[in-house]
Amino acid sequence: MPIDNNNNDNNTGYEEVCYLCHRSESKAGKMMHLPNNICICSDCMEKTLNSMNMFNVGGKGNFDQDINSFMDNMGFGEIPQGFSERNKVKRKPLKERKKAKETQEESVIFDIKNIPAPHIIKKQLDEYVIGQEHAKKIVSVAVYNHYKRVAASIKGEDVEIEKSNMLMIGPTGCGKTYLVKTLARLLNVPLAITDATSLTEAGYIGDDIESVVSKLLAAADNDVERAEHGIIFIDEIDKIAKKRNTNSRDVSGESVQQGMLKLLEGSDVEVPVGATNKNAMVPMTTVNTSNILFICGGAFPELEKIIKERLNRTSSMGFSADLKDKYDNEPNIMSKVSVEDLREFGMIPEFLGRLPIVFSLDGLTKEMLVKILTEPKNAILRQYKKLLEMDEVLLEFDDSALEAIAQKAVEKKTGARALRSIIEEFMLDIMYEIPKDDNIGKVTITADYINNNGIPVIEMRSSEKILPHKE
């Protein structure tokens, strides 16, 4: 049974997609056609043939029988009719494809003149991230220097500039992940976010350390060049601290830190294309991490105690000693963190050495939460106002209502994450009742309604009406 290499679908306006790696022909190249209307790219075909040899498929027998037997064993035998039509993507016109390719190639060529200055980056972050002024300055400068380093490496400058990998420390819900997401979106670079708690040493159950690079490659649409200039954010990094008082192998702690050293510094990593796990049927590619910006974040819950002990120990010595409890009520104690404190927490020196920029984010106050509700471009209250605006209804919040929402969020101690759940709870009845009556023109949310002591005020287009009491 010969393999048909002739693509008869060139004029249909659609691109064929590889059955195994799910890449379109514009990315994977010319497709090979197998029985049952299956298309496979050359990379996957090579992997398939290698697997056939490995499992002694073929040999002296009939090739047609052997390949059919192999396909049945691999799950190719029962392909539904019309599969090939569903397994296609819309083909762009040739001019658009060339233009898109040229634009993509230009985007990976960094020029110092095209890199936004730190003050521009911060100004853009200010539109989405409330507060955290010091953190936004540090991030803006670090990112600016990082991409200047990338530009210098591309031009072959003789001075080697070290990477500006960052470690963010802050309580849950203070905006660590949101800051990184906003940064990647503004810079138009691929971003991969992973949780350090899922990472384990190679060979153990859990995600391989190199899987973070696979996620970045997927975020870059399998474009290696674009992925090599992206950002990887590893959250919950405090969860891989060295385990204390244990005799068992620390496969999710110190071992993970050791395994990440080469990634952080820069190395060639072999990762699968179109998949997260390595196997014989998935094509592999090499990604260099030298120009990938790594940002780590964590809450470090016991770090405050370590910092206070160090500060109290040093300040209570000598004739000019301070009181031992001087730092017990310090609101921004995390801003005084040092490498010594992080080592005491359980982070190994080699790992910290590859994260030269260490800074903290402040916990969100009531005033900051009120601003988060209204000021950002994508503020949650703006979203709800827009939703009701589509029903030709005006939604307003009293100042007292905003403070009541912020106070509830403070009590939950989960930062900005609490705002969404609180608003979803009291907006449910309103969003349910509004579409029932076309005469409703305005809804005003009060503090009494937020605190379950009252009802929202509903103004009709001609008169005033009240919604049923919130249960």
What is the pLDDT, as a whole number, of residue 82?
A: 46
Least confident of 61-70, 413-422, 452-461: 61-70
Statement: residue 313 has pLDDT above 50: yes
CATH number of the domain bearing residue 389: 1.10.8.60
Least confident of 186-195, 237-246, 445-454: 237-246
Statement: residue 246 has pLDDT above 60: no
What is the pLDDT, as a whole number, of residue 168?
A: 92
For a pLDDT cut of 90, what percent of the chain falls above it? 11
Does residue 238 share a domain with residue 384? no
Q: Sorting pLDDT into bands at 50, 70 and 90, what band is 231? A: very high
Provide mean pLDDT across the span 378-405: 89
Residue 1 lies in a domain: no
Does residue 445 share a domain with residue 383? yes
Out of 311, 342, 360, a domain closes at: 360
Does residue 138 share a domain with residue 21? no
Nearest to 44 by CA among 65, 68, 73, 17: 17
Other Cβ atoms less than 10 A from the Cβ of 316: the count is: 13
What is the pLDDT, as a whole number, of residue 251?
A: 53
Residue 311 lies in a domain: yes
What is the pLDDT, as a whole number, of residue 136?
A: 92
Out of 321, 338, 360, a domain closes at: 360
Choose from 47-56, 257-266, 453-462 the range with maximum mean pLDDT. Answer: 257-266
More confident residue, 450 or 249: 450
Does residue 21 share a domain with residue 52? yes
Other Cβ atoms less than 10 A from the Cβ of 31: the count is: 25
SS (H, E, C) 289-314: CCCCEEEEEECCCCHHHHHHHHHHHH
Provide mean pLDDT across the span 427-433: 87
Number of domains in the chain: 3
SS (H, E, C) 2-32: CCECCCCCCCCCEEEECCCCCCEHHHHCCEE
What is the pLDDT, as a whole number, of residue 12?
A: 52
Nearest to 419 by CA among 432, 429, 406: 406
Choose from 76-80, 267-271, 355-359, 437-441 the range with maximum mean pLDDT. Answer: 355-359
Per-residue pLDDT tens for 321-356? 455 566 666 667 888 888 999 999 889 899 999 999
Nearest to 250 by CA among 261, 239, 234: 239
Nearest to 445 by CA among 379, 381, 390, 387: 381
Out of 335, 360, 385, a domain closes at: 360
Does residue 185 share a domain with residue 142? yes
Provide mean pLDDT across the span 293-310: 88
Backbone angles phi, psi at 77, to 5 degrees: -70, -35
Choose from 113-122, 180-189, 238-247 the range with maximum mean pLDDT. Answer: 180-189
What is the pLDDT, as a whole number, of residue 277?
A: 64
What is the pLDDT, as a whole number, of residue 294?
A: 93
Residue 206 lies in a domain: yes
What is the pLDDT, as a whole number, of residue 355?
A: 92
What is the pLDDT, as a whole number, of residue 20?
A: 76
How far CA 226 is from CA of 96, 112, 269, in Å, comes to: 19, 17, 15
Does residue 394 share a domain with residue 327? no
Choose from 109-118, 153-162, 183-192, 306-315 the range with maximum mean pLDDT. Answer: 183-192
Least confident of 83-92, 183-192, 212-221: 83-92
Does residue 351 share a domain with residue 419? no
Statement: residue 54 has pLDDT above 80: no
Statement: residue 369 has pLDDT above 70: yes
Does residue 339 share a domain with residue 385? no
What is the pLDDT, as a whole number, of residue 8?
A: 45
For 429, the domain range is 366-466
Provide mean pLDDT across the span 376-393: 87
Dihedral sign from CA coordinates of 68, 69, 70, 74: positive
Does residue 39 share a domain with residue 132? no
Does residue 349 share a domain with residue 289? yes
Residue 101 lies in a domain: no
Residue 102 lies in a domain: no
Provide mean pLDDT across the span 266-272: 86
CA distance 346 to 243: 7
CA distance 388 to 422: 18
For a pLDDT cut of 70, what percent of the chain falls above it? 70
Residue 276 lies in a domain: yes
Provide mean pLDDT across the span 50-79: 53
Least confident of 185-194, 218-227, 320-329: 320-329
Residue 100 lies in a domain: no
Whether this model's pTM surpasses 0.75 = no
Residue 106 lies in a domain: no
Statement: residue 249 has pLDDT above 60: no
Statement: residue 123 has pLDDT above 50: yes
Does residue 439 share a domain with residue 330? no
Q: Are 374 and 422 in contact (CB under 8 A)?
A: no
CATH number of the domain bearing residue 346: 3.40.50.300
What is the pLDDT, as a whole number, of residue 329?
A: 65
Backbone angles phi, psi at 166, to 5 degrees: -125, 150
What is the pLDDT, as a whole number, of residue 18?
A: 81
Does residue 134 share a domain with residue 29? no
Q: Sorting pLDDT into bands at 50, 70 and 90, what band is 80? A: very low
Residue with tokens 């420390």: 169
What's the whole-number average pLDDT of the chain?
76
